[in-house]
Amino acid sequence: MIRNIIFDMGGVLIYYSPARFLDLLSVSEEDKALLFREVFNTVEWFRMDRGTITEEEAVAVMKGKLPARLHGEVDRLIEWWKLELRPVEGMEELLKELKELGYGLYLLSNASLRQPEYFDRIPSSQYLNGRFVSAFYQLLKPQHEIFEAFLEKFALKAEECFFVDDSLANVESAYCLGIAGEVFDGDVSRLRRDLNAVGVPVRIGQN
């Protein structure tokens, strides 16, 4: 029986799109491509999420590979939530309903040490029983170890959990440990149907 629902953050509770963040900057298409390559598509970005490099160290490496004219844009992208933080439509209502039904609700997110600075701005955050942010444990999805550490921290049983993430690799890794789940594609109505299918009685037809 499912008793707990685990949510990813970016792509599930909030929209997260590096391309969108780049579009909010006043730079050329050529510079957008350069910034994407040297900021988002770097080992340093993932090491921040793993918590094995400081933001200052990551920024220094990124700026070292970019022309001086783009250094200010690196600072802006590192703090992407100040550019735009949009909740996924329908998720707040779903979490509120799940909470009222008595389910345990948890966050399991790959994010940097600065995640607590902005997470409370996400409306659905108020319904969570607990949060597990990768950087604080120096683990990263889809490692099996992060799921094991998450279950241990909150004393949860894998077979009683359902995991919602926008990454196939992350959901598959959870399945390997006995955690059922869904690859979320932005369709909250579909998620509601799939929760119904595993015995979670949320309303159908709600966004």
CA dihedral 124, 139, 183, 201 (to 10 degrees): -50
Give which of 156, 203, 202, 152 is closest to 180, Cα–Cα: 156
Give the containing element (helix H, strand E) for 187.
none
CATH number 1.10.287.110 is the correct assignment for the domain at 4-15+86-197: no
For 28-63, write each residue's pLDDT tens digit: 999 999 999 999 999 999 999 999 999 999 999 999
In the numeric block, the tokens 């598959």 are attached to 172
Instruction: Find where tokens 């599930």 sit.
Output: 12
Please count the helices (runs of H) and the strands (runs of E) in the chain. 10, 5
Is a pLDDT exceeding 70 seen at residue 206?
A: no
**Residue 142 structure tokens:** 């889809």
HSE, CB side, 13 Å, CA atoms: give it for residue 136: 12
What is the share, in percent, of the chain residues with pLDDT greater than 70?
Answer: 99
207 falls in which pLDDT band (50, 70, 90)? low
CA distance 164 to 95: 12
Residues 172, 174, 175, 177, CA torsion sign: positive
Provide the whole-model pTM.
0.95
Of 12, 10, 13, nearest to 21 (Cα)?
Answer: 10
The per-residue pLDDT for 16 is 96
